[in-house]
Structure 1
Amino acid sequence: MELSYWELKNWFTNIDYTIVGSGIVGLHTALRLRERFPTAKILVLEKGMLPQGASTKNAGFACFGSLSEIIDDLITHTEDDVVRLIEKRWQGLQLLRKRLGDTAIDFKPYGGYELFLKEDESSFSECISKLPFVNEILKPLFKADVFSKEVDRFGFENTNEYLIFNPFEAQIDTGNMMQELLRQAVAANILILNQQTVTSYTDAGNHVEIVLNDFSFTSKKILFATNGFANSLTNGAVKPARAQVLITEPIPNLDIKGTFHLDKGYYYFRNIGDRILLGGGRNLDFETETTTEFGQTEIVQNKLESLLREVILPNHNFQIAHRWSGIMGVGNSKNPVVTQLSENVCCGVRLGGMGVAIGSLIGTELADLI
């Protein structure tokens, strides 16, 4: 990289904080650092043309976990852990709304629903039996019952006649959210450089030496907000998880509004105007979907299309308009990793597929490690 004197002076000299990753976590980290250090020089490096992981590729669910997902989490985490995690997701959503404003992110409080396939009667029965208990442990946080049983009024097929409803869920416009975050970052005099990959770094004690391919510079601190791409940073505590997504062309007379979950959150869909966005299916082939490579697979795409045909839109003709994928960060625990790796190196990663909910809070916590 051949840089001029001006480029070196303005972008790569006297840097206080370098943040790697310009997604939800990275930009919230930068904005929080700006609040704390008004005169600091803050540089954000992004390896993609746009945020590379899931921040502009997610489904736009303002959610904190479906009932079956929470019940599943209670098997692998303590009750306190699960409640604390839901509290963090809820706090994160409030922080996101407060910083960006509901209008900017097109916040629509339609509520969320969980549906159950007829063949999955045991999961439905378990959810109904444990619903009062989950409501009880969440009541101190929400001051009301979170989950209730409702008759399906959407015309789904091959599903139980009842849905689980959650009035606290909403949907947002992911693209609008990221544009507003970027706008605020630029307004706060935060430098953002895209198409820049950090190939190595060294904590030299009083600064960090950062290498971008064939160019290096120094920064007082470096903060990693790379989520699904943080495997090597965290010695394997974060694994990438690819999520495949598709969206239909507009469907006349579509009467589906809200965010919807199926099979412990492994499938999820929502309306965007008169379109249906549907994603998930990595549980069909965990091994293949544990990857940082973007793309689609036949097994997942076929399943998504069959769900559209047989369950979600049984009486509609529809066309697929577009398909894409995003990379999440998961691990053995759903708890995020916000930690100091060395004197001048920190990371905030492993959002567990809940980046919209928890990302703003993790960015804030990461900045507050400094």
Structure 2
Amino acid sequence: MYLSYWERKSWFSNIDFTIVGSGIVGLNCALELRRKHPKARILVLEKGKLPQGASTKNAGFACFGSISEILSDLKTHSEQEVLQLVQDRFNGIQSLRSLLGDNAIGYQNNGGHELFLNQDIELYERCFSELKFVNELLQPVFNNDGFKVVPDRFNFKGINKNYISQVFEGQIDTGKMMHSLVQLAQQNGITILNSTHVQSFEDTGTEVMVKTDELQFVTKKLLIATNGFAAQLLSENVKPARAQVLVTKPIKNLHITGTFHLEEGYYYFRNIDNRILLGGGRNLDFKTEETAEFGNTKLVENKLKQLLETVILPEQPFEIDYSWSGIMGVGQLKKPIVKQISDNVACGVRLGGMGIAVGSTIGKNLAGLVG
């Protein structure tokens, strides 16, 4: 790419901080750096036309983990680690709401409900029996019982007559949230360049040489916030995980409100604009879904449609409007990776499908490593 003198001078010279990824983590990192360094030159690079991975493609759940997810996490994490994970999610959601305001992100608190299919009676009984223990464990986070047994009031089919609901779970409008975040960053003098793919970098000890698909430039500090695409730049324990989603056309007199989880969180759905948004199915074929390529598969699409037809909207005609996918960053542990890579490079990745909940605090923590 042949840059003019003006382009080099205005966009790619004397850069103090360069952030790779313009999602929730990247923009919160940029805003925190601006707060700490009012006069710094801050550049955000995004390989997509919009924030690429999951920040604009998620289901919009402001969640802390369903009860079966919490119990599953306790098999691989200590009680203290799980408590801290939930605390971080709670703090992150409050931080996002405080930063942008509930109206700007379309926040609603309609509760989050875990449904149990009739064939999952053993899972329901285990969750029910552990309800008191989990509420006591998470008492420091919510200062109340986070989980309650609630009767089904939306006439779903093929499920246990009771949900186990997370009282404090909310939902947001993902598009509104990211649009507001981008606007706030721009208002704070942060430069965002889309369609700019970072291919490699080199920390020389005094600065970082950044190579994109079209140009090279130098920055004092480099912060990597690419989450599901982290393996393309880093050797960290994070893998991509594709999440497929579909949304119905508007449904007249849709009475379903709230966020809903099935099968330990591998399926999830909610209401939005008189539609049902439904996602998940990664557990049907983990290997195929361990990819950084966008796309949808018939295996998952058919399963999602089956859930709509048999469980969610069994007596309601509906049509699928469109479908899409997002790329999450996951690993063996749920704890995000926020660390220094070298003298002038740091990363904040592996959000484990909880970007809305933890993205804002991970972004702030990432900024703290270099600023």
Q: TM-score, normalised by structure 1?
A: 0.99
Tell me the equivalent position of 1:196. 196
How far, CA to CA, are the matches of 1:117 and 1:332 in structure 2?
Answer: 27
The answer on 1:347 being equivalent to 2:337 is no
How far, CA to CA, are the matches of 2:55 and 2:28 in structure 1?
Answer: 12
How far, CA to CA, are the matches of 1:20 and 1:235 in structure 2?
Answer: 16
Tell me the equivalent position of 1:129. 129
Equivalence map 1:16-35=2 (5 Å): 16-35=16-35
- Residue deviations 1:194-226 (CA, integer Å, cap 9, x gap): 000111110011100001124111000000000
Gaps of 5+ in 1: none
8 Å CA contact retained: 2:334, 2:352: yes
Tell me the equivalent position of 1:158. 158
Give the superposition deviation at 1:173.
0.3
SS of corresponding position for 1:362: helix
Tell me the equivalent position of 2:95. 95
8 Å CA contact retained: 2:210, 2:216: yes
Tell me the equivalent position of 1:169. 169
Give the superposition deviation at 1:273.
2.5
Tell me the equivalent position of 1:329. 329
Equivalence map 1:238-249=2 (5 Å): 238-249=238-249
The residue type paired with residue 368 of structure 1 is: G
The answer on 1:49 being equivalent to 2:84 is no
Question: Which range is displaced more, 191-200 or 231-240?
Answer: 231-240
SS of corresponding position for 2:103: coil
How far, CA to CA, are the matches of 1:121 and 1:234 in structure 2?
Answer: 42
Tell me the equivalent position of 1:283. 283
SS of corresponding position for 1:325: strand
Give the RMSD, CA atoms, in angstroms. 0.7
Gaps of 5+ in 2: none
Tell me the equivalent position of 1:106. 106
Tell me the equivalent position of 2:310. 310
How far, CA to CA, are the matches of 1:180 and 1:251 in structure 2?
Answer: 28
The residue type paired with residue 226 of structure 2 is: T
8 Å CA contact retained: 2:24, 2:55: yes
Q: Which runs of 4+ in 1 moved over 6 A?
A: none
Give the superposition deviation at 1:141.
1.5
How far, CA to CA, are the matches of 1:19 and 1:232 in structure 2?
Answer: 15
Tell me the equivalent position of 2:263. 263
Give the superposition deviation at 1:99.
0.3
The residue type paired with residue 356 of structure 2 is: V
How far, CA to CA, are the matches of 1:60 and 1:133 in structure 2?
Answer: 28
- Residue deviations 1:329-363 (CA, integer Å, cap 9, x gap): 00000000000000000000000000000000000
8 Å CA contact retained: 2:251, 2:275: yes
The residue type paired with residue 212 of structure 1 is: T
Q: TM-score, normalised by structure 2?
A: 0.99
Paired residues in the alignment total 370
